Structure 1
Amino acid sequence: MENFKRRHSKLINSSRLLYQEYSDVALNKAIQSQKRADSLAEDLELSSPSSPRLRRKVQSPQNSYLQRLSVSSNASLWQEIPMIRGSRMLLNMSRDDQKLQEAKFELIMSEASYLRSLNVAVDHFQCSSELQVLLTNQEHKWLFSRLQEVRDVSACFLFDLEEKFEENMFNFNVCDVALRHAPEFRRVYLPYVTNQTYQEQIFQRLMNGNTRFQQVLERLESDPVCQRLSLKSFLILPFQRITRLKLLLQNILKRTPPESDEEVQATQAYDALEKLIKDCNENVQRMKSTEELIYLRQKIDFECKIFPLVSQSRRLVKCGELMALDFSSLSAKWKLSTRPIYLHLFNDRLLLSRPRENGRFVVFDHAAFSDVRGEKCEMKLHGTNKNIFRLFLLKNNQGKRVEFLFRTETHSEKLRWISALAPPQGEPDLLESPDSPQVQCIRTYKARENDELALEKADIIMVMQNSNDGWMEGVKLSDGERGWFPSEHVELISSKHARQMNLKEEQRVKNAKQQVFCKK
């Protein structure tokens, strides 16, 4: 890290695009590639963003390709490098080897674009004298966190990638470099992402209550260096990047020769990024859950057996108000009555409450999650009483078995509650689900509730079930995360061949991990 200031990237200006747009172009390209996945005409651009071809220009032989590229247009394809294009080595390479090199080059080019955006974030925003005067030290620290350290780590990573590339443009490795830098990634990304909750809170507070901050920010964002992108889009870059970096390494791993040294390095680098992202998500979830529990503790009263609500291991899975249906007999007739009950479902316990004014709740019953069951109900009722399900407490707070009949507003809410109340399920065996529907995300979706699945463009999801009002429950193939999402954000993958290839590729990654880590 001490050599950072003395080294200069040759790729930093290779693209006019900042990472936000560069990444979007790459993801759109991945979406189009998936649509052509079963076509024999699929080209070599599977993981590369579309861009103009390099301008043909006579160059002095002493200049390296990277130096020339630094003043070229948006070059991003390895095969378009003048030394590579039309060379005998390229012609002798197999199609799979060409795709592997393209995947590696995409990692390098995207890191260059990412560093360019980080430079704007640090030099233009974080180091802004106006913002430094305007914000307190604590506000400035929470807003920008360790962004400068993230930038420095990215710069060192890119420098090493460039050196590796220049050593042998035809057969270069990037996974060993990623693996070597993994400890530095963890050192800066984990605290930065963990701080995300405070970052969002301070940003919203400043936007809502500080007119001067709004004015300064508007002026800074209007500078051409930002390319009409907001400060917020720069602040969220680090988490987006490590997520994308994991997928780029995964794409390389899928193409490396089995049982090769490169496969081992790709697997280890991918695993390091996967663990980092998991730890980042867990830290963010833990902070969010603790805040939710502290807030709920102030809003909840118990009229039954009390138990301590706040716990480090407890997290809110789902909550909401449902309508309980009660049947009572008057002479020879049955009468149906309804009453609102609010459910707070945690990963270890279910609370049933009567809602009160000002967002308060009175808990009248609760049970351990292991003693809770939800089931579909086929009972046919007239009028608005549709979307019914049964809830069983096998042992409530008094040790008794209790049954409830609930009605939801929508079909999707009914299915979501039944799914949330089901016992935990292990990660599905992909090869045992060859006929399960698959969809591809075409528009990013940010999860709004705890049982929802956040989606990024080009994510492939195996669909577990559909509602009749536009929601799906599925599992992301890339990481096994499960949840609900609106169907309007995805497109169906209709080709059976394409679905089988997606499963085969993900299984390839799992097999590689088993081979590498079982040997140890």
Structure 2
Amino acid sequence: RVVLSRSSILYQEYSDVAINREIQRQQGKEPGTEEEGLREEGSDGIPSPSNLSPSSSFRSSRGSAFALWQDIPDVRSSGQLDNFSNEERKLQEAKFELVTSEASYIRSLTIAVDHFMLSPELAECLGAQEKQWLFSKLPEVKDVSERFLQDLEHRLEEDILRFDVCDIVLDHCPSLRRVYLPYVTNQAYQEQTYQRLLHENPRFPGILARLEEDPICQRLPLTSFLILPFQRITRLKMLVENILKRTTPGSRDEDTATKAFNELKKIIKECNSSVQSMKRMEELIHLNKKIHFEGKIFPLISQSRWLVKHGELLEVDTQTMSISGSKLKLPTKPVYLHLFNDCLLLSRRKDTWKFMVFVHAKIGELKVKDLSQKLQGISGFIFHLQLCEGQQLKHQILLKSHTE
């Protein structure tokens, strides 16, 4: 069964139209008439309704990714449209949009893989690791999405008038999670690799420019293809949500749509958490190269640690404090603080980008006392910081800052 006869509409174009549709929905204007549906102009070769099977009728209507469900020849010729209420039509249109947008999405993924990733010229100028970081699991995303669309198409071909899609979405959520989670997590490496190739690989910009100028990708940049999975998983949740809003309350369809919506929400939440964890780990790895410890080695890199705040304050030298007239003189020297979720590091700069830590302590073993009110007449904020180890005082320091 041939299922890959996709629309020539790319998902990037669909996304623009989807935004306009969402604005219409929020303004209470629902696309639902023939004039409001977007179509490709000049489409020919479409057979007459009398010669169409449900399958060929559906596929030919996908010459435009934005044709409405009610415009499918078999739907029009069924004589059943008048039996659908306005809300029932909107429900079927919402379901159909999920299918057509998936077809458009796979059209763009196919170009990303076949035209860009599998380009012999591009492969020659990329190392294996660079290629992996740049394209990540894009072929796997494409394979899973194609199987997803095949099931959606089969459902429409079984009953073009009254079909459901949310049970299929729910069934495919484990597969979607398996490929989307690593792809989205790889985002930081993908962006870094792309920028590094542009600036450090002399052949890459020219080869990429020639590929991007090819009419097959409608002169869209590679980056617009690489971000498609990020856009799609979010859009898929919104499409299921639109279906959910139109299902009959208390029905089995509502229950299925709710489960599908919640599973997609869970995938997106996991993706966001994974991206955040990856960025935090990258930051720790970067800091680990710049931060050095006096004496005992401190294992800075940890899956459960992240940087909360950092910056330079002034350490007040209490040994050389003096009074001049009516003013208290506070000699100071800079000290740098790295505050993590579980510990605090105090260091001195070795140079612009390197630090030597002279003391550190767990967050639960810090004691802070604001002395600003007691030392009136001094600009800024003064506070006393004690760093302990168990019940024992390890270090204490008087710090001054210009802001709270």
CA pair 207-51 structure 1, distance change in 2 beyond 3 A: farther
Q: What are the Cα deviations for residues 316-372 of structure 1, in whole angstroms up to 9, with x where unaligned?
A: 23x343555979764423567876554433232333444442311233554544577
Q: 1:143 aligns with which of 126, 131, 134?
A: 134
**Aligned counterparts of 1:104 and 1:373: Cα–Cα separation in 2:** 59
Which secondary structure does the structure 1 equivalent of 2:66 belong to? coil
CA pair 303-28 structure 1, distance change in 2 beyond 3 A: farther
Name 1:52's counterpart in structure 2: 38
- Tell me the TM-score normalised to structure 1 length: 0.62
**Aligned counterparts of 2:363 and 2:283: Cα–Cα separation in 1:** 19
* Counterpart check, 1:188 vs 2:179: yes
**Aligned counterparts of 2:371 and 2:100: Cα–Cα separation in 1:** 54
**Aligned counterparts of 1:348 and 1:92: Cα–Cα separation in 2:** 64
**Aligned counterparts of 1:283 and 1:261: Cα–Cα separation in 2:** 33
Q: 1:263 aligns with which of 250, 254, 259?
A: 254
Residues 319-330 of structure 1 aligned to structure 2 (within 5 Å): 319-323=309-313, 330=324
**Aligned counterparts of 2:130 and 2:11: Cα–Cα separation in 1:** 26
Name 2:14's counterpart in structure 1: 22
Which secondary structure does the structure 1 equivalent of 2:356 belong to? strand
Alpha-carbon contact 1:44-1:102 (below 8 Å) kept: no
Alpha-carbon contact 1:54-1:81 (below 8 Å) kept: no
- Tell me the TM-score normalised to structure 2 length: 0.78
Name 2:146's counterpart in structure 1: 155
**Aligned counterparts of 2:171 and 2:129: Cα–Cα separation in 1:** 33
Shift of 1:390: 8.6
Q: What residue identity is the alignment partner of 1:69?
A: S
Alpha-carbon contact 1:7-1:159 (below 8 Å) kept: no
Which secondary structure does the structure 2 equivalent of 1:211 belong to? coil
CA pair 393-251 structure 1, distance change in 2 beyond 3 A: farther
How many residues are aligned here? 383
Alpha-carbon contact 1:342-1:352 (below 8 Å) kept: yes
**Aligned counterparts of 1:164 and 1:131: Cα–Cα separation in 2:** 39
Residues 11-90 of structure 1 aligned to structure 2 (within 5 Å): 12-13=6-7, 16-31=8-23, 33-34=25-26, 36=27, 42-45=28-31, 51-52=37-38, 59-63=48-52, 64=54, 65-71=57-63, 73=64, 75-81=66-72
Shift of 1:392: 8.3
Q: 1:7 aligns with which of 2, 16, 23?
A: 2
Q: What residue identity is the alignment partner of 2:351?
A: E
Q: What are the Cα deviations for residues 431-483 of structure 1, in whole angstroms up to 9, with x where unaligned?
A: xxxxxxxxxxxxxxxxxxxxxxxxxxxxxxxxxxxxxxxxxxxxxxxxxxxxx
Alpha-carbon contact 1:250-1:270 (below 8 Å) kept: yes
Alpha-carbon contact 1:304-1:365 (below 8 Å) kept: no
**Aligned counterparts of 2:333 and 2:299: Cα–Cα separation in 1:** 27
Q: 1:357 aligns with which of 348, 351, 361?
A: 351
Shift of 1:121: 0.6
Q: 2:208 aligns with which of 211, 217, 230?
A: 217
CA pair 209-183 structure 1, distance change in 2 beyond 3 A: same
Q: 1:248 aligns with which of 231, 239, 246?
A: 239
**Aligned counterparts of 2:86 and 2:332: Cα–Cα separation in 1:** 65
Which secondary structure does the structure 1 equivalent of 2:339 belong to? strand
**Aligned counterparts of 1:395 and 1:333: Cα–Cα separation in 2:** 30
Alpha-carbon contact 1:300-1:360 (below 8 Å) kept: yes
Shift of 1:309: 1.1
Q: What residue identity is the alignment partner of 2:268?
A: I
Name 1:288's counterpart in structure 2: 279
Q: 1:348 aligns with which of 318, 342, 345?
A: 342
Shift of 1:219: 0.3
Alpha-carbon contact 1:186-1:276 (below 8 Å) kept: yes
Alpha-carbon contact 1:351-1:365 (below 8 Å) kept: yes
Deviating more after overlay: 99-108 vs 334-343: 334-343
**Aligned counterparts of 1:252 and 1:374: Cα–Cα separation in 2:** 54
Name 1:332's counterpart in structure 2: 326
Name 1:177's counterpart in structure 2: 168
Residues 469-480 of structure 1 aligned to structure 2 (within 5 Å): none
Residues 269-280 of structure 1 aligned to structure 2 (within 5 Å): 269-280=260-271
**Aligned counterparts of 1:305 and 1:330: Cα–Cα separation in 2:** 41
The structure with more helix, counted as a fraction of residues: 2
CA pair 394-323 structure 1, distance change in 2 beyond 3 A: closer
Identical amino acids, percent of aligned pairs: 50
Q: 2:223 aligns with which of 219, 223, 232?
A: 232
Shift of 1:192: 2.6
CA pair 337-102 structure 1, distance change in 2 beyond 3 A: farther
CA pair 302-98 structure 1, distance change in 2 beyond 3 A: same
Alpha-carbon contact 2:336-2:346 (below 8 Å) kept: yes
Q: What residue identity is the alignment partner of 2:259?
A: Q
Alpha-carbon contact 2:184-2:275 (below 8 Å) kept: yes
Q: What are the Cα deviations for residues 279-326 of structure 1, in whole angstroms up to 9, with x where unaligned?
A: 333333333333322321221134698642111211223x34355597
Alignment root-mean-square deviation, CA: 4.0
**Aligned counterparts of 1:337 and 1:156: Cα–Cα separation in 2:** 70
**Aligned counterparts of 2:72 and 2:103: Cα–Cα separation in 1:** 16
Q: What are the Cα deviations for residues 403-454 of structure 1, in whole angstroms up to 9, with x where unaligned?
A: 856446xxxxx7xxxxxxxxxxxxxxxxxxxxxxxxxxxxxxxxxxxxxxxx
CA pair 130-82 structure 1, distance change in 2 beyond 3 A: same
Alpha-carbon contact 1:69-1:75 (below 8 Å) kept: no
Q: 1:112 aligns with which of 83, 95, 103?
A: 103
Alpha-carbon contact 1:301-1:363 (below 8 Å) kept: yes
Structure 1 residue runs of 5 or longer lacking an equivalent are 1-5, 37-41, 380-384, 409-413, 415-520
Which secondary structure does the structure 2 equivalent of 1:313 belong to? coil
**Aligned counterparts of 1:248 and 1:375: Cα–Cα separation in 2:** 53
Residues 374-453 of structure 1 aligned to structure 2 (within 5 Å): 398=393, 406-407=401-402
Which secondary structure does the structure 2 equivalent of 1:149 belong to? helix
**Aligned counterparts of 1:363 and 1:218: Cα–Cα separation in 2:** 47
Q: What residue identity is the alignment partner of 1:348?
A: D
CA pair 301-89 structure 1, distance change in 2 beyond 3 A: same
Shift of 1:109: 1.7
